[in-house]
Chain A
């Protein structure tokens, strides 16, 4: 066994010991056991008290009142809800994502990816992160995106500013920050916000294609929203590329903005999960932003690499990183 494995085992043992000390204490364990015992004893043969014959008229009045309530209050609501189908709402949301926008948009959202999507990310960016996006819709390709942990530490960031010709990438790995800054950069063919929008559109299109969506009105903050869900499906259904096992989208009823989205399924037979929750959206005027808003400043201790940009942002990062590795002496 390797030393690292031993240390891991020791740590697992410490966690086990710590959790064991958390209980449950006897009273809590007893309470849970009673509840389970009671539920289990009902099983498939639940017995309930027989209704009293003396109260039959109370039942009749209650039924009549309930029927009236349903007729005059609930049915009109149901009718209003059914005027919009889940597919229609999803279609509107997809169209809203594709609609041209103007001004400086500020988005804050929680994002968590699992499975094959998480495997594509460095470990520092696994789990639930808060993402802040600043997008200049008046200048295509100008944006900044920060990925932060719950305690506000930036673990990844991207900033493109075609007005100044800068392109900055930042990531933390093994406890250290790496910042790559490229100059003379033009607008990328497909920016990260555009990629995210395309991915969400694709997921919504997948939901639209399903036939078993359920839709209902839910309150979300001060406005009203539609919640569209695909029920959990049993595993085993295989599709060639992407399939959804479950999905949920929450869309505002007024302007079809997507404010929550979660899905799980398979991509190329490998499981994935994604959760997106929009927590804030705002608009700023062009005058209120500065060049620094579309830049990322290094922090003390970060490694900073600089270079000239090409038309291939991803390859620029790889090439500049490789160039930083000292050459081995010739053999």
Chain B
């Protein structure tokens, strides 16, 4: 019996698609449980703002749902998610750079809850903020365990360049951390 007071928005969709939809939904939720925190950390590293990072992660999964809903393939879910997330971060950075130059007066980002636990963590965060956006992206993607091929896709660079660019990014990060931490490579 049809539910009272409700109508199907897409009545033409096939029974197969209707049956498949909950399965796809479960897949999306499973992918969120698997990669959501990592995507959030990547977005945090890129944007330095938890609220923006949360928006980016949510948008990434909304895009995933649209992608699956339109019959898109997903051979490498992790790579796909991090690529979409990285691009969303880049789009947000562009908008932020265009309209909101940083100034101390308007910087309302929360300070860490316990700064004493990690002067070193705080230093790493400062270092990440000091290096360029592409360097930050490469380091953050690597720190989330992506392969060179996945990093190349997400950062839109050639796979053959990943090792060199990542090494340079890490050297710049080491320099940003201070003279005591410069890499002796």
Cβ of B135 within 8 Å of any chain A Cβ, yes or no, is yes
* Contact indicator B174/A11 (Cβ below 8 Å): yes
Further contacts, 10 of them, CB under 8 A, given A24-B54, A123-B168: A12-B139, A20-B41, A29-B37, A40-B24, A40-B25, A43-B21, A50-B6, A115-B158, A128-B132, A275-B94
Chain A residues with Cβ below 8 Å from B61 are 35-36, 39-40
Residues of B49-64 whose CB lies within 8 A of A: 50, 53-54, 57-58, 61-62
* Contact indicator B9/A15 (Cβ below 8 Å): no
Task: Give 28 CB contacts A-B under 8 Å.
Answer: A4-B185, A7-B184, A8-B167, A11-B173, A12-B170, A15-B143, A18-B120, A18-B124, A18-B128, A19-B41, A19-B42, A21-B118, A22-B44, A24-B50, A29-B36, A32-B36, A36-B32, A40-B29, A43-B65, A43-B69, A44-B17, A45-B17, A45-B21, A47-B3, A48-B7, A115-B157, A175-B175, A271-B158
Residues of B106-121 whose CB lies within 8 A of A: 117-118, 120-121
Chain B residues with Cβ below 8 Å from A35 are 58, 61
* Contact indicator B22/A114 (Cβ below 8 Å): no
Instruction: Report the minimal beta-carbon distance from B161 to chain A, rounded to whole angstroms.
Output: 7
The 6 A-B residue pairs with the shortest CB-CB distance in the complex, in nearest-first order: A127-B132, A4-B185, A43-B21, A40-B25, A40-B28, A19-B41
In-complex Cβ contact of B18 among A24, A44, A127 (8 A): A44
Q: Which residue of B lies closest to A220 (CB)?
A: B98
In-complex Cβ contact of A43 among B22, B58, B185 (8 A): B22
* Contact indicator A18/B121 (Cβ below 8 Å): yes
Q: Which residue of A lies closest to B142 (CB)?
A: A12
Residues of A28-86 whose CB lies within 8 A of B: 28-29, 31-33, 35-37, 39-50
Q: Which residue of A lies closest to B132 (CB)?
A: A127
* Contact indicator A41/B139 (Cβ below 8 Å): no
* Contact indicator A50/B5 (Cβ below 8 Å): yes
* Contact indicator B6/A22 (Cβ below 8 Å): no
* Contact indicator A32/B58 (Cβ below 8 Å): yes
Cβ of A179 within 8 Å of any chain B Cβ, yes or no, is no
Q: Which residue of A lies closest to B152 (CB)?
A: A271
Cβ of B13 within 8 Å of any chain A Cβ, yes or no, is yes
Cβ of A242 within 8 Å of any chain B Cβ, yes or no, is no
* Contact indicator B124/A15 (Cβ below 8 Å): yes
The number of chain B residues touching the other chain, given as a range, is 35 or more
Say yes or no: A17-B139 contact (C-beta < 8 A), given A24-B40, A44-B18, A123-B168.
no
In-complex Cβ contact of A44 among B21, B97, B118, B139 (8 A): B21
Chain A residues with Cβ below 8 Å from B142 are 12, 15
* Contact indicator B118/A126 (Cβ below 8 Å): no
In-complex Cβ contact of A45 among B8, B54, B125 (8 A): B8
* Contact indicator B156/A15 (Cβ below 8 Å): no
Chain A residues with Cβ below 8 Å from B125 are 18, 22
Chain B residues with Cβ below 8 Å from A8 are 166-167, 170, 183, 185
* Contact indicator B157/A114 (Cβ below 8 Å): yes
Chain B residues with Cβ below 8 Å from A28 are 40, 50, 54
Chain B residues with Cβ below 8 Å from A20 are 41
Cβ of B10 within 8 Å of any chain A Cβ, yes or no, is yes
A275, B156: Cα distance in complex, Å: 14
Say yes or no: A36-B28 contact (C-beta < 8 A), given A2-B185, A12-B139, A16-B144.
yes
Cβ of A213 within 8 Å of any chain B Cβ, yes or no, is no
Cβ of B134 within 8 Å of any chain A Cβ, yes or no, is yes
A42, B124: Cα distance in complex, Å: 40
Chain B residues with Cβ below 8 Å from A3 are 184-185
Q: Which residue of B lies closest to A118 (CB)?
A: B134
